[in-house]
Chain A
């Protein structure tokens, strides 16, 4: 019994890692006031690039980084259109989704279904990994998992809430005009963090095909990009809460796998729909969403392009 539990929880952590990375990327972007709806495309691109690179080089770290680079490039493109050109963020994000999904499907065609052989080493943390139960669930993973769950959220949290730079970053998302008056360069900060957001989200894709489901196929992203956005809303752009939200969604996925593997009498389709149902639930729950208090906790200036010299 404990074995099953451990296995479910371990899968939870691994599954949730994709969401953590993608959601952290989106957090960076939304914290500076830009909503990026292109996550699905970014994850897809990151996933396919990682797979292709791994077949070409058989080196997981190179594959991981290659995905990150592509994500950065796409992030810069998206940032340029929304921050410099100031085109509609929603439409640019949707375009990015289509572009990413379409392009990755095309280039991934030749390797669809082929199992990825390159692997990340498992690095159990000394002492901590020997704790019964918790040790194998939390502390016996590969580096990217630690990156996603421990390193990145803490770094981002510290940056945003305990540095001078972080104060400036947050002001850009709350009130860009005030930020600009105070001497903060809104355009620069938005370009930087939206691009970095793209990088992280693509890394989520690499994580997906290198660690979680080591192969490429069309549609492997399965809506995770959209779920990541829901996680960010749920976590109100707070990096630490993002981790917990992702674990929750990861749990739902893990339960789905376990049910299938152990032939629990639940329809597999229903299990597959759980993440989406949970997202809906999270979105619609009154405590989280219904009133101003919630809206106040999201960066106030999300979604609107910023014009420095706008008259009146």
Chain B
């Protein structure tokens, strides 16, 4: 009996197979743990976490305005999550979603302010423009990774910062709204916009769902996706089946960037309508987090995006009680850390090994 307490009698072993259900529950537990830790931190700063949580949920889900805001946040996050998931599927860490998003908005503004035509037609053109803008911003890191194996993490990240500065420069400078209509420095209003359907929530919401649907179909049912997945898991498979790994890397990065640019297009023509600082409320980062949490599963992306949008909205709502918006970042960081660890921990099991002569045999799988 006592030797059960002796730590030398316990060994840590790795499980061969872990079911999806187990992983899901582990993630759930991790999220709860992260929420628990944050609530302790909130408590220490003198506020009541439960009250805050209730207030946040109530304002978000319990009112027309709340749901509308939720939808507005959900839309870009869904799309950026798909953008991130596309790259992650191949093991490419495209951290530059934010920058590619912004380039989408820039491209849309540049074209949208200088073009004439019926709303519907122009919007279609702007969709293409947004995609191209985002894709172009991913091109350099893509080439660097494909041909020189330069880490895409840092290269895409630097481009994020540059993109933000570029937006600032354009909004304050060359594209500045000369009529002085806006208080914040921003461009003139783009006259083409996505129609609204639920209060201020625009049809971009449906775009996002459609994009998610396309992602789901493509990832399960195309040879392209199959090849990408396999090469992403082992780059040597590329030459083995006759698919160029470097060309595929570039293509995937461009698609990922393009979708991020599309998210930018949707946000600017649906919600903000002008080029200005801060269009993206860290949508790129949150998209990445959703993609990571969902492990690329379309259903997971949906659920994860709703969850993150809820958290984000709570952060905005709770500003009125003095909670900084960035405390949301803290919570999401905790969630990411907890989930990342839980997925690994769930594969470990503690095995009791008797020191007796009678060995406790492991059951073989046969």
Q: Do chains A and B interact in one complex? A: yes
Q: How far is the CB of A271 from chain B (nearest CB, A)?
A: 10
Query: Given the complex of chains A and B, what is the CA–CA distance between A230 and B154 in angstroms?
Result: 7
With contacts A109-B324, A276-B158 taken as known, whether A97 is within 8 angstroms of B333 at the C-beta atoms is: yes
Q: How far is the CA of A143 from the CA of B11 in the complex (A)?
A: 49
From A10-18, A181-189, A277-285, give the one contacting chain B: A277-285
Decide yes or no whether A289 CB sits under 8 A from chain B. yes
Cβ–Cβ contact A289 & B150, under 8 A: yes
Residue in B149, B153, B166 whose beta carbon sits within 8 Å of that of A37 in the complex: B153
Are B153 and A90 neighbours in the complex by a CB distance under 8 Å?
A: yes
A85 and B344 contact, Cβ closer than 8 Å, known pairs A90-B153, A102-B327, A269-B165: yes
Known: A91-B336, A97-B333, A279-B154. A102 touches B326 (CB 8 A): yes
| Interface status of A53 (Cβ within 8 A of chain B) | no
B345 within 8 Å of A (CB atoms): yes
Contact A226–B157 (Cβ < 8 Å): yes
A202 within 8 A of B: no
- Residues in B neighbouring A37, C-beta threshold 8 A: 153
Question: Once the chains bind, are A276 and B161 in contact (CB under 8 Å)?
Answer: yes
Q: Which residues of A contact B97 (CB under 8 A)?
A: none
- B366 → chain A closest CB, angstroms: 18
User: Which residues of A, 260-312, contact B by the 8 Å Cβ criterion?
Assistant: 267, 269-270, 272-273, 276-277, 279-280, 283-284, 286, 289-291, 295, 307
Given contacts A87-B344, A101-B329, contact A226 B154 (CB under 8 A): yes
Task: Say yes or no: is A59 at the interface (Cβ < 8 Å to chain B).
Answer: no
CA distance A99 to B95 in the complex (A): 17
Shortest distance from the beta carbon of B44 to any chain A beta carbon, whole Å: 10
Number of chain A residues whose Cβ lies closer than 8 Å to a Cβ of chain B: 47
A280 to chain B, nearest CB (A): 5
Q: Compute how far the CA of A109 lies from the CA of B323 in the bound complex, rounded to whole angstroms.
A: 9
Contact across chains for B326 and A86 when beta carbons are under 8 A apart: no
Contact A95 B337 (CB under 8 A): yes
A267 to chain B, nearest CB (A): 6
Q: Which residue of A81, A85, A269, A291 has the most chain B CB atoms within 10 A of its CB atom?
A: A269
- The smallest C-beta distance from B187 to any residue of chain A, in angstroms, reads 15
User: CA–CA, A289 to B155, complex, Å?
Assistant: 13
Q: A146 interface residue, CB < 8 Å from B?
A: no
**Contact in complex: A91, B340 (CB < 8 Å):** yes
In whole angstroms, what is the CA distance A280 to B163 when docked? 13
**Contact partner of A102 among B162, B333, B344, CB < 8 A?**
B333
Q: Which residue of the partner chain B has the closest CB to A281?
A: B158
Contact B334 A95 (CB under 8 A): yes
CB atoms of B341 and A90 under 8 A apart: no
Contact residues, B125-158 vs A (CB, 8 A): 140, 144, 148-151, 153-155, 157-158
Given the contacts A280-B159, A284-B144, A99 and B337 also touching, CB distance less than 8 Å:
yes
Q: Whole-angstrom distance between the alpha carbons of A273 and B157 in the complex?
A: 13
Q: Is the interface of B mostly helix, strand, loop or mixed?
A: helix
For the complex, what is the distance from the CA of A170 to the CA of B341, rounded to whole Å? 27
Q: Is the CB of A295 within 8 A of B149?
A: yes
Q: Which of A99, A106, A223 contacts B324 (CB 8 A)?
A: A106
Count of inter-chain pairs, beta carbons less than 8 A: 137
Say how far B96's CB is from chain A's closest CB, in angstroms.
11
Hey, which chain A residues are within 8 Å of B324, CB to CB? Answer: 105-106, 109
The digit string for B260-291, where 1 denotes a CB below 8 A from any CB of A, is 00000000000000000000000001001000
Chain A residues with CB below 8 A from B165, complex form: 269-270, 272-273, 276
Task: Give CA–CA (A19, B292) in the complex, Å.
Answer: 30
Q: Whole-angstrom distance between the alpha carbons of A24 and B140 in the complex?
A: 28
Q: Which residues of B contact A94 (CB under 8 A)?
A: 95, 288, 333, 336
Q: Are the CB atoms of B148 and A290 closer together than 8 Å?
A: yes
A102-B161 in contact given A96-B337, A283-B155 (Cβ < 8 Å): no
Residue contact B330 to A106, C-beta cutoff 8 Å: yes
Q: What mask results when residues 169 to 183 of chain B are scored 1 for a CB within 8 Å of chain A, else 0?
A: 100110000000000
Is B330's CB under 8 angstroms from A103's CB? yes
Q: Is the CB of B341 within 8 A of A102?
A: no
B residues within 8 A CB of A117? none
> Among the listed B150, B153, B161, B344, which residue makes an inter-chain contact with A223, where contact means beta carbons less than 8 Å apart?
B161
Q: Does B332 contact A (CB under 8 A)?
A: yes
Give 1 or 0 for each of B308-346: 1 = CB within 8 Å of chain A CB.
000000000000000110111111111011001101110
Among candidates B140, B158, B323, B327, residue contacting A226 with C-beta atoms closer than 8 Å: B158
Tell me, yes or no, whether B65 is within 8 Å of chain A by CB: no
- Give, as a whole number of angstroms, the nearest-CB distance from B18 to chain A: 15
**Is the CB–CB distance between B168 and A269 below 8 Å?**
yes
Does any Cβ of A come within 8 Å of B10's Cβ? no
Q: Are B326 and A105 in contact (CB under 8 A)?
A: yes
Q: Does A88 reach chain B (CB closer than 8 Å)?
A: yes
Task: State A218–B329 Cα separation when bound (angstroms).
Answer: 13
Instruction: Tell me if A81 and B333 are in contact (CB < 8 A).
Output: no
- State whether the Cβ of B24 lies closer than 8 Å to any Cβ in chain A: no
**Distance, CA A105 to CA B327, complexed state (A):** 7
CA distance A87 to B346 in the complex (A): 11
Contact of B155 (CB < 8 Å), options: A90, A273, A284, A291: A284
Q: Is B33 an interface residue (CB 8 A)?
A: no
B207 at the A interface (CB under 8 A): no
A61 at the B interface (CB under 8 A): no
* Chain B, Cβ-Cβ closest to A77: B337
Q: B337 and A218: CB pair below 8 A?
A: no
CB-defined contacts of B337 to chain A, threshold 8 Å: 81, 91-92, 95-96, 99
Report the Cα distance A106→B337, complex, angstroms: 19
User: Across the interface, which residues of B come within 8 angstroms of A88, CB to CB?
Assistant: 340, 344
Closest 5 pairs between A and B when the two form their complex, measured CB to CB:
A102-B330, A98-B333, A102-B329, A105-B326, A99-B333
10 of the cross-chain contacts (CB-CB < 8 Å) are: A86-B344, A98-B336, A101-B326, A102-B326, A106-B324, A106-B327, A107-B45, A279-B154, A279-B158, A286-B148
Known: A81-B337, A103-B41, A230-B158. 8 other contacts (CB 8 A): A41-B333, A87-B340, A106-B324, A226-B157, A273-B161, A273-B165, A280-B155, A283-B155
